[in-house]
Amino acid sequence: MFLSQTHIMNIQLNNQIIENASKVSRNLSSEELYEISHKNGEGKLSKHGALVVETGKHTGRSANDKFFVEENDSKSKIHWGDTNVAISEEKFEKIANSFVEFAKGKSIFSNDLMGGADRNHSLNVSIITEYAWHGLFARHLLVRPTADEIKNFVADYTIINFPSLKLNPEFHGTNSETAIIVNLKEKVILIAGTEYAGETKKSVFTLLNFLLPEKKVMPMHCSVNSGEKGDSAIFFGLSGTGKTTLSADPNRSLLGDDEHGWSDEGLFNFEGGCYAKLIRLSKDAEPEIYKTTQMKGTVIENAVMNNDGLLDLDDNSLTENTRGAYPLDYIPGVIKSGKAPHPNNIIMLTADAFGILPPIAKLTPEQAMYHFLSGYTAKVAGTEIGLSNEPQATFSTCFGAPFMPRNPIEYGNLLKNKISKFSVDCWLVNTGWSGGVYGVGKRISIKDTRRLLDAALSGELSNTQMRKDKNFGFSVPLTVKEIDEAILDPRNTWSNTSEYDEQAKKLVKMFIENFVKFESDVEDKILASGPVTN
């Protein structure tokens, strides 16, 4: 039986799964997986050849169903809490045995892929999937090894994704029939009960977030692009804040849209593709991403397709979190090496649902550390299971707390050191609401955000007169070409300024209360760089 030995390596689990399966299709091409997905009825083809799939009740991450196995090798390195929840080795054994049993007689797919374009810091991962389209998704989103690398491929970790396997919470010790179980000692991740493909992608990200800090490499939930002169920019931000949209700039080359590392040699992409939000995607405002929805092979999750085979990207009847997965080379001007120079600018994106933050602000290094640890934004329904229809203010440390196994201070200190070492300018950009709270105010236009970003990245704002924000202390430009001056001071966009002041106090209070948990770990000057009550 599985787990009969004292120490189990991921290759043993991998072998038992493969031995039990009736057929294993290994390292098929993207074209082959695309054809099989359609033939097996896993998805439908759009008029333009995109593979359109539905993921059932799980249209986003199952945040409450992720666990780390508590074992002696790694438990002192994990920052246990609400996002890093422990499960015992005994319960993992039961779950792993269920995976082995489930594989009996199944036709499965195995793909050898990599996390990280920089081979000095990359991770070899074998992805075993029940569905062909999950294999295609993994090939789109991860780095595809060369033919020579495939010949000598040895997996560092194995990820096994069986959506049709429903766990029994009473027997397996999980919260539901769904679970994502990370076993760092055995180098395996098990995913059951969810068809949402993003769980596989984020599992690789979680592994890199655990492993790279020990090599002094900063793992980041961010997008990156570069200008003609090699002036790279990092875009931090949670889902829905605009990382993918804003980094796909026709005037700059894209490195990647979601996950990157920052080593002493420069920046590198963790991925080989993009995973873009598609809801209400604009052909005019986001032409590069829009074109990918009409390309053969793109995997489109939970978008509504009409009888004529055309997608209705405005229809959120299945979810607000409609997604498109495609290889990086579907975007013109992409940086094919997957690597870029050290950044000149860091952009911290937020979608402020309260209408308080300005559309752009310059941060001191201390303020950058404060806002990185805070990770403020507002989530709306659809990006995660369990959110209500109302937006929720959230503070996700490092702009990616669910994927950060270590203490946030480790990541914060890495970022602080690199900002100092490479003299990087830092900006806070609000892509959320102005003129009132969500439902009353209006969302800041992509056009205005792009113009403000252009001004920051080009150096134009270095010669612009700034005001000090009375609530947050950061510097805000008074004027920017082609931008209505009123939106630069959000208080002026509210019909009732006293309501703005009251709402600002509430937001400041939330920041302060959230940061209490970091007070004993950060320097006084970082504490002093946060917002103040007036």
- CB burial class (10 A; 0-12, 13-18, 19+) of residue 99? buried
The CA-to-CA distance between both ends of the chain, in Å, stands at 65
Percent of the chain with pLDDT over 70: 96
Quick one: CA dihedral 283, 289, 295, 296, positive or negative?
negative
Question: What is the per-residue pLDDT for 3?
Answer: 36
> In one letter, which amino acid is 168?
N
DSSP conformational letter for 491: G
The amino acid present at 330, given as its one-letter code, is Y
One CATH from 3.40.449.10, 3.90.380.10, 3.60.40.10, 2.60.40.10 for 10-43+58-215 = 3.40.449.10
Phi-psi region of 328 (alpha: psi -120 to 50; beta: other; left: phi over 0): alpha
| 337-388 pLDDT, tens digit each | 999 999 999 999 999 989 999 999 999 999 999 999 999 997 754 444 555 5
Domain ranges in the chain are 10-43+58-215, 275-330, 342-527
Distances (CA, A) of 237 to 234, 385, 429, 471: 10, 19, 10, 22
Cβ partners under 8 Å of residue 114, min gap 6: 122, 123, 124, 125, 142, 143, 144, 145, 149
H-helix or E-strand spanning residue 14? helix 10-20
Is CATH 3.90.228.20 the classification given to domain 342-527? yes
Instruction: Identify the three-state secondary structure at position 152.
Output: coil
pLDDT tens per residue across span 416-473: 999 999 999 999 999 999 999 888 899 999 999 999 999 999 999 998 999 999 999 9
Q: Note the pLDDT of residue 11.
A: 67
Q: Are strands 360-363 and 304-305 parallel, antiparallel or unpaired?
A: unpaired
**Sign, CA torsion 430/433/436/439:** negative
**Vertex 325: Cα angle to 319 and 326 (nearest 5):** 155
Q: Which residues belong to the active site?
A: 61, 202, 221, 239, 243-244, 258, 323
Q: Rounded to the nearest 5 degrees, what angle is found at the Cα of 281, between the Cα atoms of 334 and 392?
A: 105
The count of other CB atoms within 10 Å of the CB of residue 242 is: 25
SS (H, E, C) 237-280: CCCCCCHHHHHCCCCCEEEECCEEEEECCEEEECCCEEEEECCC
Q: Residue 534 and residue 501: Cα distance in Å, rounded?
A: 9
Are the CB atoms for 125 and 94 separated by under 8 Å? no
CA 331, CA 228: separation in Å to the nearest integer? 17
Look at residue 137 and give its three-state secondary structure: helix
d(C-alpha 215, C-alpha 263), whole Å: 9
Among 68, 17, 310, residue whose Cα is nearest residue 185:
68
Question: What is the C-alpha to C-alpha distance for residues 374 and 387, in angstroms, rounded to an integer?
Answer: 20
Tens of pLDDT along 94-126?
999 999 999 999 999 999 999 999 999 999 999
Residue type, 235: F
Average pLDDT on 300-316 reads: 97
Q: How high is the pLDDT of residue 390?
A: 59
Mean residue pLDDT across the chain: 93
Q: Confidence class of residue 507 from pLDDT cuts 50, 70 and 90?
A: very high
CATH topology of domain 275-330: Phosphoenolpyruvate Carboxykinase; domain 2 (2.170.8)
DSSP 308: T
Each residue's pLDDT tens digit, 194-238:
999 999 999 999 999 999 999 999 999 999 999 999 999 999 998
* Residue from 377, 134, 373, 146 nearest 243 by CA: 377
Q: Give the pLDDT of residue 383.
A: 46
Strands 157-162 and 188-192: parallel
Separation CA 363–CA 428 (nearest Å): 7
Contact 378, 506 (CB under 8 A): no
Write down the residue that tokens 């929720």 correspond to. Answer: 392
Q: Which of 226, 224, 300 is nearest to 269 (CA)?
A: 224
